Amino acid sequence: ELKVEQNPLFLSMQEGKNYTIYCNYSTTSDRLYWYRQDPGKSLESLFVLLSNGAVKQEGRLMASLDTKARLSTLHITAAVHDLSATYFCAVVQVTPLVFGKGTRLSVIA
């Protein structure tokens, strides 16, 4: 059974500093997604990572994938308040999109 673990589950970030969220998964997969969810809202797609070594960047967020280590990271550069949300990674195997529990980010001044 595919398991997806994120850490940390909660992260309080200071504005202007850099942080990393980790996503580990238990079995081979060829696709990993990152989603953002604001309170009371649905899931917004951020990145789709398809291959080992894939790196994608959008604004202050950068995601990477290491399929050999079964690890993806979401790096946040110079955190700003607008990034406060819950971030989910999700992995595809036979069952589509098995989600982690999410990382709740809060940016403080």
Partner 1 sequence: EAGVAQSPRYKIIEKRQSVAFWCNPISGHATLYWYQQILGQGPKLLIQFQNNGVVDDSQLPKDRFSAERLKGVDSTLKIQPAKLEDSAVYLCASSLLRGRRGNTIYFGEGSWLTVV
Instruction: Give the residues lining the site for partner 1 (CB under 8 A).
Output: 4, 30-31, 33, 35, 41-45, 48, 50, 88, 90, 94-102
Question: Which of 80, 92 has the CB closer to partner 1?
Answer: 92
Question: Which of 16, 59 has the CB closer to partner 1?
Answer: 59
* DSSP at 2: -
Report the C-alpha gap between 39 and 57 in whole angstroms.
24
Question: Which of 15, 30 has the CB closer to partner 1?
Answer: 30
Query: Minimum Å distance from CB 50 to partner 1?
Result: 6
Report the C-alpha gap between 36 and 106 in whole angstroms.
13
Query: Minimum Å distance from CB 40 to partner 1?
Result: 8
Query: Minimum Å distance from CB 4 to partner 1?
Result: 8
Query: Minimum Å distance from CB 100 to partner 1?
Result: 6
In contact, 25 and 88? CB cutoff 8 Å: no
Question: Which of 31, 75 has the CB closer to partner 1?
Answer: 31
In contact, 47 and 56? CB cutoff 8 Å: yes
Which residue has tokens 């398809």? Answer: 50
Distance in Å from the first CA to the final CA of the chain: 41
